[in-house]
A = this chain, B = another copy of it.
Amino acid sequence: MTVNMKISINKKILAKNEEFALQNKAFFAEKGILCINMISSPGSGKTTILSRTAENLKDKLRLGVIEGDIQTDTDAAKIRAMGIDAVQIETKGSCHLSAEQVGKALSQMKSAELDIVFVENVGNLVCPSSFDLGEQTRVVVLSVPEGDDKPIKYPGTFAKADILLINKIDLANYVNFKLERVIGDVRVLNPDVTIFEISATTGEGMQAWYDWLLAQRKQQ
């Protein structure tokens, strides 16, 4: 297979995805739903961030969660146990969610009654960034133990973030991680990104993230 053939196939897959993304976007606009696409490496803490956020905001906002994983539905089960509407998508090997999968998941939720739908993408710093799901807001999570070189190594993902959550700041004393380097490198790639420093485990810094979510909701 030539490189040109591969590029043309990739373009077709992306164009097909874009059609479904536009459908999702129209649905969110019509229903007044804020959709947030969460992207990160495996193990950066997305599920813990979502659990803690849901726990804190579930009486103030109507939340829904779409969980993407290669396999298992443990993440959705965790969220459902808190009384939150959650659907699991098992990608069975694919390294990202597609807009079509998200559209199907939305049809399985009481989505018309929600304020915010969080989509937890497959743990991956590469593939998900090319696939628009129709979301209004893209959140990238970087956890401190992953290292401060990730923005320059995975620039595509960090360049497209609306929000950067720097998670596990409670571990900053135990690893070599220069916060100012991360912030500097990300600002070069993406001057407009909003950055929150948090620990979803200890709760440190989470209030600013909750306030941001509440403020966004009011703007809808």
Instruction: State whether the Cβ of A207 lies closer than 8 Å to any Cβ in chain B.
Output: no
A106 at the interface (CB under 8 A from B): no
| Interface residue SS majority, chain A | loop
B123 touches A156 (CB 8 A): no
Q: A176 contacts which chain B residues (CB < 8 A)?
A: 201
This protein's copies in its complex:
2
Q: Does A125 contact B (CB under 8 A)?
A: yes
Selecting from A64-72, A111-119, A210-218, the interface stretch reads A64-72
* CB–CB A153/B16 < 8 A: no
Task: Report whether A95 and B124 are in contact in the complex, using a CB–CB cutoff of 8 Å.
Answer: yes
A112 to chain B, nearest CB (A): 29
Q: CB of A38 within 8 A of chain B? A: no
B42 touches A150 (CB 8 A): yes
Task: Give the A interface residue count (CB, 8 A).
Answer: 41
Minimal beta-carbon separation of A83 from chain B (angstroms): 22
Contacts of A168 in B (CB 8 A): 145
A residues at B contact (CB < 8 Å): 1, 6, 9, 12-13, 16, 41-43, 69-72, 74, 93-95, 122-127, 143, 145-147, 149-150, 152-156, 168, 170-171, 174-176, 201
For the A-B complex with A123-B125, A126-B127 known, give 12 more contacts whose Cβ atoms are closer than 8 Å. Answer: A1-B12, A42-B146, A42-B150, A42-B153, A70-B153, A70-B154, A72-B152, A72-B153, A74-B149, A124-B125, A124-B126, A127-B127
